[in-house]
Structure 1
Amino acid sequence: MALTDPSRRPSAGRVLAVLSVVPALLVAGWLLAGLPLLLLGWFRPLVAVPLGIAVAGALCVAALRRLPETADATGWQTGGVLAVALGSGVFNALLHSEQLIVRRDPATYAQYAIWIAEHGSLPVDRQEAAFGGADPALDFGSVGFYDRPEGVVPQFMPGPPMVFAAGEWLGGLLVSPAVLGALAVLVVAGVAARMGGGRWAVPTALAFAVSLPVLYTSRTTLSEITSLILLFGGVALLHDAHTAGGRGSPGRVALAGLVAGLAVLVRVDGLRDVLPVLAYAGFLIALGRTRGGAPAGAGARGGAVRGGPGRLGLALLGGLAVGAGLGFVAAAVLARPYLSYLSRSVVPLLAVCAAVLLLTVLGAALAPRLARWRRPAFLPAAGAAAVVAVMLGFAVRPWVQQVTRQPVTEEDWLTYRFIEVTQRDNGLPIDGSHLYFENSLYWVIWYIGFPAVVLATLAAAVLVRRMLRDGASAEWLLPLALIGWTTVTTLLRPEITPDHPWASRRLVPVVLPGLLLLAFWGLAWVRDKARRLGYGRRAQGWIAGVGVVLLLVPGAITSIGTAFTPVERGERAAVEAMCAAIPPRASVLLVERVTGDRFTQVVRGVCGAPSAQVRRAESTDTPPEADVRRLIAKIRAAGRVPVLLAAQPGQLTAYGPPRQVLALRTRQDERSLVKPPDGVWSLSATVWMALPA
């Protein structure tokens, strides 16, 4: 029955199913419309907004038309999910951070979004004419922004800044992460309802929403929540396509692949995360080449799919290729310096992708022959044991390995020195090469609790055993592959500076929501096992109730130390005051290292004034006075007003009387290396300005 059928009110389960995929469709539609406009330099609200609405609307029609019952939920359960999502959004919006001064990634994303929202194009204009033309002493780059001959190129993939730019147009850039976080709660709850039933949707949503990494990434401009929406939205769409059956399924499957593939446009790591989707597409193609194949994941309500699993596999592969291909285009055109910076990680990742693609092609080609292979009787038990062994390996890892990296590049040395400083603050032995990655499983335990990890491991082992034994629980094949692959690879090499809550963001796109989904499914399995063993309803109720408490409380306890404390508040007002102090027709020279790193793009993007650092020797904080005076003269000759910024008044007195234009006293996130964060640290920033006489 069509969703628009006036003769029948939509069921609560159908409402939840729709609401939990709409976020992914909206994000996907916005990215599909926005990327070509950004590449053409036309990313303007008058063009992007109507086009984005049209594309997102078309995706919603394609995905939701004649959608059957794909989620099992009552009115109370659907209402509970909506309440959790709304509460999450309001709570995080009220406590959102204001990271505009570029110290770490959130402010880089914010400044990236501000620039494209205001100018609609990349790269960032260096505005050399405002400084009297090119000069070897001028450096237009800063932290998160690469100075290149064609202009200043922002770090990171363009997907998240395009999403945040919509928030900037609406006057809510800094609260847009909270909106995305609320949408992510809906998506995770929808997948939980599809995979385990509506009774588990609300507790899964709540456990996810109160986890500290989710609170953290829902309050500041980062990429992880957007990636989660696309990946798990793709999983939900694929589940719905399998369940729907009929003529429209290949199109729905292609749409699921497209949505998941767009995760590459959001994060470079998205390429790794979507590899299970590629393998699953190959599996469907292989299944179509064997006799009697049925589409994995088709539920009892699904019926036959026209064209069979082979057609579904090709559709999924096509959608994935388009989505990921757009990510590759964006990376090559808009983020090439960033890829060069990540080359030591990207090159091995591309090799892994090539290997997975080769194995997928070989598997599809050899499918008829492989279908005749008799599975060993021990394989189901061995598969389940392997799941447990992997998790036990991560558990004992800190006692058998200390992950280190000796610095080679300049970026390595920056990380090395940062870790040394953080170790001193934490009272730990000083060793800047220590990355603490061996503790990665314990990071997960901090944020969702030991019971959740145990139940998730149990669930994964049971599901693997079922699939290898007789193909049961096939609807879990892709979700389990996605969760398992990304969890193992992320825990093995998180590849992030290891202070918390900073490093916790690595767990957000897949690891935490995936393990929570498995944990609640595992709890349902334990409850059902008790029923089959003859325990009564009361005992089953106690098992479910105690289990839910054990899955909710540990994460909430970890979060409580920082959940009600906003960080970096006051930055917007401080930056606006600084901008107001800069005179008209100013060309701003930043003549001190820290000020240049933090404020070059802020002055250019927020204040709207041309800005550049003056190059200095590597071991010094300020540039040669002769270079500064030459640039001052060139700015005047260009008919503009020279303005100098620095961190301390003494760094400016040689050029003119200094005046303080920014004095910020606020709080920042803790930097904890060996325990979960439970507080915040102080943060100060000052900027002084001089107008040369």
Structure 2
Amino acid sequence: MSSTGSTAAGTLLTRVPVVLAAAVAALTAVAVPLVLLDLWTPPVALPVGLVVAVLAGRLAWGTPVVAAGWWSAGGSAAIALGAGAWAALTHAEHVVLRRDAGSVALYAHHLATRHGLPVDASVPALGGAAALADPNLTLASPAFYEVGDHVVPQFLLGAPALYSLGDWAGGWTGMFVVPGVLGAFGVLAVAGFTARVVGPRWAPLAAAVLALAQPVLHANRSTYSEPPALLVLFGAAALLVALLPATGRAAARLGLGAGLLVGACGFVRIDFLREVAVLVPVLAVLLVVRHPGARALLAGTALASALAVAAALLTSRPYLGTISGSLLPLVAGLVVLAVASAVVVRLARRGVLARQGWLRSERLPTVLAVVLGVVLAGLASRPLWLVVRQDPEDSGSKLVAGLQLAQGLPVDGGRTYAEHSVDWIAWYLGWPAVALAGAAAVVALPRVVRGVQGRGALPAWTAPYVAALGSTLLTLYRPGITPDHPWADRRFVVVVLPAVVVLSVAACRWVVVRYSAPGQRLTGLRVVVAVVLLLGPAAWGTLPVATQRTEVGQPAAVARACASFAPGDVALAVDPRSRNEWPQLLRGTCDVPSASLVVPTGQGRPGTPEYWQVLRAAVDRQSERVRAAGGTPVLVAAGGDTDPVEVLTRLGVQDPRVVVSLRTSEDERVLTRRPDGVQRIDVRLVTGVAPRPALQ
């Protein structure tokens, strides 16, 4: 192939993904001020976002290109395109709020239709301050927090803002397609990264293995934050690889771009702090050796991270409070690493560290590699000698106990099953990939250590290797998520699964190259074996769910629900399931003022006469407030332990109306095996006008 052709193919494979990552990161950043100013409207957001995305992409266009063959670049692009198209064609329709994808979809729809934050709770229609002061009334529902007289969505702004663009283009369906598009870009970004660190010929294999991994497909089918996060993070990783060998102004430009993208991940996921923390030691090393891009990398990371944290505090403060138990140790670790790294840089520049002979010991790289091998073996073997538990009073423990009971397992709600985290990776990529990735990580470490010692050049892939290794070890040690699958496995989509894929592909390449010779026929056989070892388990794990769609019919059900309400109606959710699923749907999609009526534990246990008495009194009080405000109180129930028609009947509703009765499916929720199917769910909504209180 001509040099022009290989450069063009390399541009598609290794430069275009970085440009896409920069454009997406810029869109998530510019969304913050526009949303806070209530300007997230098509006439404003589309031209402003387009200009910002083009400018960011133009700056990223200077990313160095790795020459590649058209079969490699075209094959990777075709795999990415096919993966995105398949995810879009089999997209979920998760709107009725049951899991995180539903809450992100409702958040995105709110941005698309209300153009700003916070969510207006229409408190005057509910009865004003008297309603808010009632302990039996709440504006909150899962993922939507009550803050004063309004509601604040749970998650960070970036992903909902991106998905709202799809809502503008094609309603719910347009929104549900966007994750597949971003997922395709993410797969291409991983392929481009692989081309840089392993070789262009191996990029299609990495793209195919990652695209086939069930958690990746699951995330790309739904409105999760992982698809844009994967794209932006691997765009940053590509720039980090290009940074190390760069010099002069080019190094500074690449360092600034890499830092900005690393920090911009914080507009999409709060976990970005973990990657920033483990990147700090690499920054320290670059500062010690006075790399020309070190200061720019530090500045870009600090600036973008600070802006992302500020955005999170402005738009998602209640969410940050709920995860403070996990967030504060992460922040503390970041601070400790930053301070320690600053001290190391100062000592190194004074020559103190140079006098520490053990730091330059020839044995140190081998010792650290052995330590890493022991750590990896320990993580993999934990099921043999450890059972990880959490506080049995944690809300997640109750869910785990219910799933254990339903699946015939010993009931121990405090179990997190975190000791099986390596098994979870093997479910989807296979033990050969896990073993190869672990071996590659161990073999690569001495090269990095020798580079730090000054006994060789730092490998170009040092920064992403250290960041991925640190983040993967922390995630495997403590996944920090309710262990029902496949829902829990999206925790691995952004860093862990891509890291295992790239490392295992690198190991396969080493074996093929190490034991091949010119004209040796066995080389082709080794390549075939490598492809089968990596692709086979990934395809086998995904095959049972490859064609399934979940939550089908929910948008149409919501439309029926909206049509059932008249102007002036105020929805009051009165049973547990309706309180979970419907308040934000009715408020944000149907323009129906909504709240929930609750019975605190101290006022009565569910199902007892005291419970019904307290609930009926709350219904009477709130109904009178709504009527006094000029509205019509409509009670809504959705079922669960008690039939919703029976619930409304017991509360005095005459002739409850079944508005929605949908039998659909969702991903199954299993604890101890790879998920391979769906479970049926009923989505119901029963309504009725609240009775007038009896005269005393």
Separation of aligned partners in 2, 1:54 and 1:238? 25
- 1:51-90 to structure 2, matched below 5 A, reads 51-65=48-62, 67-68=63-64, 70-90=65-85
Q: Is the contact between residue 7 and residue 68 of structure 2 (CA under 8 Å) also seen in structure 1?
A: no
Establish whether residue 594 from structure 1 lines up as the match of residue 577 from structure 2.
Answer: yes
Separation of aligned partners in 2, 1:384 and 1:536? 35
Match of 1:652 in 2: 648
Query: What SS does structure 2 have at the residue aligned with 1:262?
Result: helix
- Using the TM superposition, give the Cα deviation of residue 78 of structure 1 relative to its aligned residue in structure 2, in angstroms: 0.9
- Using the TM superposition, give the Cα deviation of residue 685 of structure 1 relative to its aligned residue in structure 2, in angstroms: 1.9
One-letter amino acid matched to 1:183: F
Establish whether residue 551 from structure 1 lines up as the match of residue 549 from structure 2.
Answer: no
- Using the TM superposition, give the Cα deviation of residue 559 of structure 1 relative to its aligned residue in structure 2, in angstroms: 1.0
Separation of aligned partners in 1, 2:217 and 2:92? 11
Query: What SS does structure 2 have at the residue aligned with 1:335?
Result: helix
The runs of 5 or more residues in structure 1 that have no matched partner are 1-6, 289-308
One-letter amino acid matched to 1:585: G
- Using the TM superposition, give the Cα deviation of residue 471 of structure 1 relative to its aligned residue in structure 2, in angstroms: 3.3
- Using the TM superposition, give the Cα deviation of residue 241 of structure 1 relative to its aligned residue in structure 2, in angstroms: 4.1
One-letter amino acid matched to 1:349: L
Moved more, 592-601 or 617-626: 617-626
One-letter amino acid matched to 1:148: V
Establish whether residue 344 from structure 1 lines up as the match of residue 310 from structure 2.
Answer: no
Match of 2:500 in 1: 515
Match of 2:382 in 1: 397
Establish whether residue 101 from structure 1 lines up as the match of residue 96 from structure 2.
Answer: yes
Match of 1:151 in 2: 150
Alignment length, in residue pairs?
659
Match of 2:124 in 1: 129
Query: What SS does structure 1 have at the residue aligned with 2:687?
Result: strand
- Deviation per residue, 1:487-523 (Å, 9 max, x gap): 1000000010001101111111100001111111111
- Using the TM superposition, give the Cα deviation of residue 583 of structure 1 relative to its aligned residue in structure 2, in angstroms: 1.3
Separation of aligned partners in 1, 2:180 and 2:355? 52
- Using the TM superposition, give the Cα deviation of residue 45 of structure 1 relative to its aligned residue in structure 2, in angstroms: 2.1
Match of 2:294 in 1: 313
- 1:597-616 to structure 2, matched below 5 A, reads 597-616=580-599
Establish whether residue 386 from structure 1 lines up as the match of residue 371 from structure 2.
Answer: yes
- Using the TM superposition, give the Cα deviation of residue 183 of structure 1 relative to its aligned residue in structure 2, in angstroms: 0.9
- 1:434-583 to structure 2, matched below 5 A, reads 434-469=415-450, 470-472=455-457, 474-531=459-516, 537-583=520-566
Separation of aligned partners in 1, 2:54 and 2:442? 40
Separation of aligned partners in 2, 1:280 and 1:50? 38
One-letter amino acid matched to 1:494: P
Query: What SS does structure 2 have at the residue aligned with 1:396?
Result: helix
One-letter amino acid matched to 2:371: A
Match of 2:676 in 1: 678
Q: Is the contact between residue 210 and residue 501 of structure 2 (CA under 8 Å) also seen in structure 1?
A: yes
- Using the TM superposition, give the Cα deviation of residue 636 of structure 1 relative to its aligned residue in structure 2, in angstroms: 2.3
- Deviation per residue, 1:622-645 (Å, 9 max, x gap): 662232123223222222232221
One-letter amino acid matched to 2:433: A
- Deviation per residue, 1:198-221 (Å, 9 max, x gap): 111101000000000001100111
- 1:55-454 to structure 2, matched below 5 A, reads 55-65=52-62, 67-68=63-64, 70-134=65-129, 135=131, 136=134, 137-171=136-170, 172-242=174-244, 245-288=247-290, 309=291, 311-368=292-349, 369=351, 370-371=353-354, 373-374=356-357, 375-408=360-393, 412=394, 414-454=395-435
Q: Is the contact between residue 390 and residue 414 of structure 2 (CA under 8 Å) also seen in structure 1?
A: yes
Separation of aligned partners in 2, 1:468 and 1:435? 35
Query: What SS does structure 1 have at the residue aligned with 2:502?
Result: helix
Query: What SS does structure 1 have at the residue aligned with 2:289?
Result: helix
Q: Is the contact between residue 645 and residue 690 of structure 1 (CA under 8 Å) also seen in structure 2?
A: yes
Q: Is the contact between residue 123 and residue 150 of structure 1 (CA under 8 Å) also seen in structure 2?
A: no
Match of 1:662 in 2: 660
- Using the TM superposition, give the Cα deviation of residue 554 of structure 1 relative to its aligned residue in structure 2, in angstroms: 0.5
Change (3 A) 1:50 1:243: farther
One-letter amino acid matched to 2:383: P
- Using the TM superposition, give the Cα deviation of residue 9 of structure 1 relative to its aligned residue in structure 2, in angstroms: 9.4
Separation of aligned partners in 1, 2:461 and 2:363? 21
- Using the TM superposition, give the Cα deviation of residue 565 of structure 1 relative to its aligned residue in structure 2, in angstroms: 0.9
> Once the two structures are aligned, what percentage of the paired residues are identical?
38
Separation of aligned partners in 2, 1:335 and 1:150? 16
- Using the TM superposition, give the Cα deviation of residue 31 of structure 1 relative to its aligned residue in structure 2, in angstroms: 1.3
Query: What SS does structure 1 have at the residue aligned with 2:301?
Result: helix
CA-based RMSD of the aligned residues comes to 1.9
Change (3 A) 1:109 1:332: same
Moved more, 97-106 or 204-213: 97-106
Separation of aligned partners in 2, 1:504 and 1:471? 38
Separation of aligned partners in 2, 1:164 and 1:14? 27
- Using the TM superposition, give the Cα deviation of residue 438 of structure 1 relative to its aligned residue in structure 2, in angstroms: 0.3
- Deviation per residue, 1:467-502 (Å, 9 max, x gap): 334435611211110111011000000010001101
Separation of aligned partners in 2, 1:665 and 1:480? 46
One-letter amino acid matched to 1:72: A
Moved more, 450-459 or 628-637: 628-637
Match of 2:31 in 1: 34
- Using the TM superposition, give the Cα deviation of residue 373 of structure 1 relative to its aligned residue in structure 2, in angstroms: 4.2
Match of 2:616 in 1: 625
- Using the TM superposition, give the Cα deviation of residue 106 of structure 1 relative to its aligned residue in structure 2, in angstroms: 0.8
- Using the TM superposition, give the Cα deviation of residue 12 of structure 1 relative to its aligned residue in structure 2, in angstroms: 0.8
Separation of aligned partners in 1, 2:337 and 2:592? 48
- Deviation per residue, 1:44-78 (Å, 9 max, x gap): 2221121111111111111213x44x323211111
Separation of aligned partners in 2, 1:562 and 1:72? 37
- Using the TM superposition, give the Cα deviation of residue 580 of structure 1 relative to its aligned residue in structure 2, in angstroms: 1.0
Establish whether residue 50 from structure 1 lines up as the match of residue 47 from structure 2.
Answer: yes
Separation of aligned partners in 1, 2:245 and 2:115? 41
Change (3 A) 1:90 1:269: same
Separation of aligned partners in 2, 1:115 and 1:8? 46
- Deviation per residue, 1:150-178 (Å, 9 max, x gap): 51111122121111111211121112111
One-letter amino acid matched to 1:322: L
Match of 1:4 in 2: none
One-letter amino acid matched to 2:15: V
One-letter amino acid matched to 1:97: A
One-letter amino acid matched to 2:110: W
Q: Is the contact between residue 182 and residue 228 of structure 2 (CA under 8 Å) also seen in structure 1?
A: yes
Separation of aligned partners in 2, 1:244 and 1:365? 24
Q: Is the contact between residue 94 and residue 102 of structure 2 (CA under 8 Å) also seen in structure 1?
A: yes
- Using the TM superposition, give the Cα deviation of residue 386 of structure 1 relative to its aligned residue in structure 2, in angstroms: 2.2
Query: What SS does structure 2 have at the residue aligned with 1:440?
Result: helix
Query: What SS does structure 2 have at the residue aligned with 1:624?
Result: helix
One-letter amino acid matched to 1:71: V
Separation of aligned partners in 1, 2:557 and 2:354? 66
Separation of aligned partners in 1, 2:589 and 2:456? 56
Separation of aligned partners in 2, 1:174 and 1:60? 25
Separation of aligned partners in 2, 1:278 and 1:340? 25
Q: Is the contact between residue 29 and residue 267 of structure 2 (CA under 8 Å) also seen in structure 1?
A: no
- Using the TM superposition, give the Cα deviation of residue 248 of structure 1 relative to its aligned residue in structure 2, in angstroms: 3.6
- Deviation per residue, 1:344-400 (Å, 9 max, x gap): 111111110111101221121122322454411212222222222121111211111
Separation of aligned partners in 1, 2:13 and 2:492? 25
One-letter amino acid matched to 2:545: T
The runs of 5 or more residues in structure 2 that have no matched partner are 639-643, 692-696
Moved more, 636-645 or 365-374: 365-374
Q: Is the contact between residue 96 and residue 566 of structure 1 (CA under 8 Å) also seen in structure 2?
A: yes
Q: Is the contact between residue 257 and residue 323 of structure 1 (CA under 8 Å) also seen in structure 2?
A: yes
